[in-house]
């Protein structure tokens, strides 16, 4: 399994990795225990500050771990981790230690207590910015306070969930339409 050597990355630019809507692995820590869950429902909500909204169903073990610690790490896995992404997304941290079970390596964060996942291409350390939408929509609004991204490849091969057991794998890129954009919208 590949381990990515990640470098510091500007937090106001994490949309380069989250805007395409990859499946992410959200890691958390609370009272000496760590956990990981799979998330498809997330969105960029701003770049200065760097905000990300994540839907965490209240029946998931991660829900209370993240709500109480007010922190998490959003990790971006690549296609080689697909089977683990599904396994992590169908098991509960109530029953197992997912780092051990799935053979993933926790790396201490610099700004949060939650661990980064070494085998993921990018890891974004987050603090809970706004808890108001949690009771109504299970929507956690995080601020990315520290970003770590692998130097290569430039475009990681990420997983995008279509539902019904179907993943779309990221593939070809084109700059053909770049000239049609307003510069401020690039």
Ligand X SMILES: Cc1cc2nc3c(=O)[nH]c(=O)nc-3n(C[C@H](O)[C@H](O)[C@H](O)COP(=O)(O)O)c2cc1C
Contact 149, 138 (CB under 8 A): no
Minimum distance, C-beta of residue 40 to ligand X, in the bound complex (Å): 4
Please give the residue ranges that form the binding site for ligand X (CB under 6 A): 23, 35, 37-41, 55-57, 60-62, 86, 89-93, 161
Q: Which residue is nearest to ligand X (CB)?
A: 89
Whose tokens are 């490849």? That residue is: 153
- In the complex with ligand X, which residue's Cβ is closer, 40 or 156? 40
CA distance 80 to 47: 29
- In the complex with ligand X, which residue's Cβ is closer, 46 or 87? 87
Closest listed residue to residue 79, CA positions, set 172, 165, 157: 157
Minimum distance, C-beta of residue 101 to ligand X, in the bound complex (Å): 11
Contact 36, 99 (CB under 8 A): yes
- In the complex with ligand X, which residue's Cβ is closer, 9 or 72? 72
């Amino acid at each position: 399994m590949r381990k990515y050597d990640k470098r510091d990355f500007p937090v106001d630019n994490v949309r380069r990795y989250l805007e395409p809507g990859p499946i992410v692995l959200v890691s958390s820590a609370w009272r000496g225990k760590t956990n990981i869950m799979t998330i498809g429902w997330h969105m960029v909500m701003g770049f200065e500050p760097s905000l990300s909204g994540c839907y965490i169903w209240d029946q998931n073990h991660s829900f209370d771990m993240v709500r109480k610690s007010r922190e998490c790490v959003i990790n971006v896995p690549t296609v080689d981790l697909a089977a683990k992404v599904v396994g992590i997304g169908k098991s509960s941290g109530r029953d197992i230690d997912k780092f051990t079970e799935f053979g993933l390596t926790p790396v201490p964060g610099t700004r949060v207590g939650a661990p980064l996942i070494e085998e993921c291409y990018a890891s974004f350390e987050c603090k809970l910015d706004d808890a108001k939408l949690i009771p109504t929509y299970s929507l956690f609004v995080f601020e990315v306070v520290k970003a770590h991204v692998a130097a290569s490849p430039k475009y990681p091969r990420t997983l995008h969930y279509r539902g019904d057991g179907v993943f779309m794998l990221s593939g070809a890129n084109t700059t053909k339409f770049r000239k049609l954009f307003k510069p401020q919208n690039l």
